[in-house]
Structure 1
Amino acid sequence: MGENPRARRLADRIKQIIATRLDKGLRDPRLGFVTITDVRVTGDLQHASVFFTVYGTDEERADSALALESAKGMLRSEVGRNITARITPSLEFIADAIPENAQHIEDLLREARERDGQVADLASNAAYAGEEDPYVQPRERDDDEES
């Protein structure tokens, strides 16, 4: 089944409203450099999951998550004023794991490159255990034998 187009439009609008509000600033000193990465709205348009990332240390991420959680009511009111839906969806803030996942993938790729280099070094110094071509070749007939 496809995604509800109305839910997708509402999600895009909520993302824009929250990002604009965060850009204007909240009066919470715990809030760091927050980026809203995605918003997903349920099919009944009653719940919105807001995914965010925070640039900084783990402590700054935790503080920003607490700041967003404490500002949830004010942000929901802001969303309610700026959308035309009958019901204002409840908001849930979820820390997006994109930066951590990207770093993990980079680490795996670096490790794979190192192992490929090791295998290439071993292959360059390798010698055949037996003959160079281990497959049985058909015998070549001499023209002298046929006569």
Structure 2
Amino acid sequence: MADNPRAKRLADLIREVVAQKLQRDVKDPRLGSRVTITDTRITGDLREATVFYTVYGDDADRAEVAAGLNSARGILRSAVGAAAGVKHTPSLEFVPDALPENARNLDDLFDRARERDEEVRRASAGADYAAGADPYVSKDEKDATDEKED
């Protein structure tokens, strides 16, 4: 998305209009309340908008919602055009948001790291240091120890 304020305002408006239209006016049973609009980005020339969404459900539900959004694209674009009042209504592209999946992957990685940390803690519970209790023995102490052994 461009850094200009007009593009930011239009992107926010598109997100709100699409979400409201999906909730209230689009009667496609594939969409229902399973889809959430998470973000919208628009190009600097205000011609193309990318709408990110998440779906609650499995892969079959995601495929159904994607097909439903693609079929409702014209209605949603018309609603955006009516609400925005711009000379050219941006074309809409719907992209599944990867954020929930990435968050799930991170949670799995954190769980594995906790398990490995716990394994290391259990393995080191009764272990001694490899070089003794004080591995930083001074040279004088070492010489004194060596003389006692002789």
SS at match of 2:124: helix
Please give the alpha-carbon distance, in whole angstroms, between the structure 2 residues aligned to 1:25 and 1:126. 67
Unpaired runs of 5+ in structure 2? 142-150
2:105 is the counterpart of 1:108: no
1:129 deviates by: 2.7
Please give the alpha-carbon distance, in whole angstroms, between the structure 2 residues aligned to 1:79 and 1:129. 69
TM-score (norm 2): 0.86
2:46 is the counterpart of 1:38: no
Q: In structure 1, what is the equivalent of residue 15 of structure 2?
A: 15
State the superposition RMSD in angstroms. Answer: 1.7
Please give the alpha-carbon distance, in whole angstroms, between the structure 2 residues aligned to 1:79 and 1:25. 13
In the TM superposition, structure 1's runs of 4+ consecutive aligned residues that sit over 6 Å from their partners are none
Please give the alpha-carbon distance, in whole angstroms, between the structure 2 residues aligned to 1:5 and 1:105. 33
Range moving further from structure 2, 58-67 or 28-37: 28-37
What is the aligned-residue identity percentage? 53
Aligned residues: 140
SS at match of 2:36: strand
- Cα deviation, 1:103-134, whole Å, max 9, x if unaligned, reads 11110000000001011112222112333222
1:138 deviates by: 5.3
SS at match of 1:112: helix
Please give the alpha-carbon distance, in whole angstroms, between the structure 2 residues aligned to 1:25 and 1:60. 20
Amino acid at match of 2:31: L
What is the 5 A alignment of 1:1-147? 3-32=3-32, 33-137=34-138, 139=140
Please give the alpha-carbon distance, in whole angstroms, between the structure 2 residues aligned to 1:44 and 1:11. 12
TM-score (norm 1): 0.88
- Cα deviation, 1:73-124, whole Å, max 9, x if unaligned, reads 1110111011021110000000111211111111000000000101111222
Please give the alpha-carbon distance, in whole angstroms, between the structure 2 residues aligned to 1:134 and 1:107. 38
